[in-house]
Amino acid sequence: MKQKIIIAIDGHASCGKSTLARQLASKLGYIYVDSGAMYRAVTLYFLENGIDYRNKGQMLSALKNINISFQHNEKNEMPETLLNGKIVEKEIRSMKISAEVSPVSAIKEVREFLVAQQQQMGIHKGLTMDGRDIGTVVFPHAELKIFLTSNETIRAERRFIELHKKGIDATLEEVIHNLESRDYEDSHRVASPLFKAGDAIELDNTYLSEEQQLEFALNLVNEKISELEKIISE
Ligand code: DC
């Protein structure tokens, strides 16, 4: 049996991380985890339940009532996020959640709560996870780390098209503004800011198709697995 590894994919908002992580998992028969969906689900819980997340006591007791899970949607072949057993895939992608998720994900205790669950998911390896701190904090020893980058205008256009496909209302200006502010906040927060891990491979996908991006990453995976298998057989 082939050696299983952990693939950590980080980068700014909307640069295609989830697409790459999902496609890689499907090719390799790995589990795929969208860590951003977990921060979005916590944000949704806080908003729906009127939790003042700046109030530490209130925020901590709210965390105890949050259960996040994933399932595979057979119809569209996509993963979907569940919050306390209810599918919230569309709700967590709304502009309202996008506007609130950065301050929520900057809270140290929220990160500790989710990072522990993310690390548990990788215990048997054979996993791709995308986010902001996957190669730096969640899996600092991941066998393969990819840091994705992409031109800002292209990212905003991609996100705009994706939201409209999902039936979510937003203007291009709103999308651009949200990406800019989230990128700034996610990179400048004190708790686990977004940065490229020293041993991550940078991939700029501005001029790559999804197929080219996947092929590039699959080559990296195969190289890494061959390397590991060679070490084990020696
Ligand atoms: O991947 P995304 O754009 O759906 O993530 C939503 C927000 O969640 C993002 O702006 C920052 C936060 N996030 C994080 O802080 N750490 C992660 N590993 C993933 C997401």
- CA-nearest residue for atom 2, ligand 1, is 36
Average pLDDT, the chain: 96
> Does some domain include residue 72?
yes
- pLDDT value, residue 234: 85
> Does some domain include residue 137?
yes
> Does some domain include residue 86?
yes
Predicted confidence band of residue 178 (pLDDT cuts 50, 70, 90): very high
- Dist. CA 95–CA 182, nearest whole Å: 12
**Distance, CA 211 to ligand 1 centroid (Å)?**
24
Task: Answer whether residue 1 shows pLDDT above 80.
Answer: no
- CA-nearest residue for atom 6, ligand 1, is 36
**Distance, CA 219 to ligand 1 centroid (Å)?**
26
Query: What is the spatial order of strands in the sheet that 6-11 belongs to?
Result: 31-34, 127-131, 6-11, 144-149, 201-204
Pocket test for ligand 1, best of 44, 68, 94, 105 (most atoms within 8 A of CB): 105
Pairing mode of beta strands 78-83, 201-204: unpaired
Residues 6+ apart with CB under 8 A from 217: 7, 20, 24, 146, 203
Predicted confidence band of residue 96 (pLDDT cuts 50, 70, 90): very high
- pLDDT value, residue 166: 86
CA angle (14, 90, 53) in 5-degree steps: 80
Residues of the chain above pLDDT 90, percent: 94
> Does some domain include residue 82?
yes
- CA-nearest residue for atom 8, ligand 1, is 36
Question: Residue 159's domain is classified under what CATH number?
Answer: 3.40.50.300
Pairing mode of beta strands 6-11, 144-149: parallel
> Does some domain include residue 15?
yes
Verify whether ligand 1 is closer than 6 Å to residue 133 (CB atom): yes
> Does some domain include residue 68?
yes
CB of 101 within 8 A of CB of 39?
Answer: yes
Predicted confidence band of residue 2 (pLDDT cuts 50, 70, 90): confident
Q: Which atom of ligand 1 is nearest to the CA of 105?
A: 15
Query: pLDDT by residue (tens digit) across 103-130?
Result: 999 999 999 999 999 999 999 999 999 9
- What pTM value is reported for the model? 0.95
> Domain count of the chain?
1
Query: pLDDT by residue (tens digit) across 29-84?
Result: 999 999 999 999 999 999 999 999 999 999 999 999 999 999 999 998 899 999 99
- CA-nearest residue for atom 16, ligand 1, is 132
The range of the structural domain enclosing residue 70 comes to: 6-225
Verify whether ligand 1 is closer than 6 Å to residue 186 (CB atom): yes
Pocket test for ligand 1, best of 10, 17, 39 (most atoms within 8 A of CB): 39
> Does some domain include residue 102?
yes
Residues 6+ apart with CB under 8 A from 48: none
Task: Answer whether residue 101 shows pLDDT above 80.
Answer: yes
Query: pLDDT by residue (tens digit) across 126-172?
Result: 999 999 999 999 999 999 999 999 999 999 999 999 899 888 889 99
- pLDDT value, residue 149: 95
**Distance, CA 231 to ligand 1 centroid (Å)?**
35
**Distance, CA 229 to ligand 1 centroid (Å)?**
33
Q: Which atom of ligand 1 is nearest to the CA of 39?
A: 8
- Dist. CA 217–CA 7, nearest whole Å: 10
Query: pLDDT by residue (tens digit) across 194-220?
Result: 999 999 999 999 999 999 999 999 999
> Does some domain include residue 234?
no
Q: Which atom of ligand 1 is nearest to the CA of 182?
A: 10
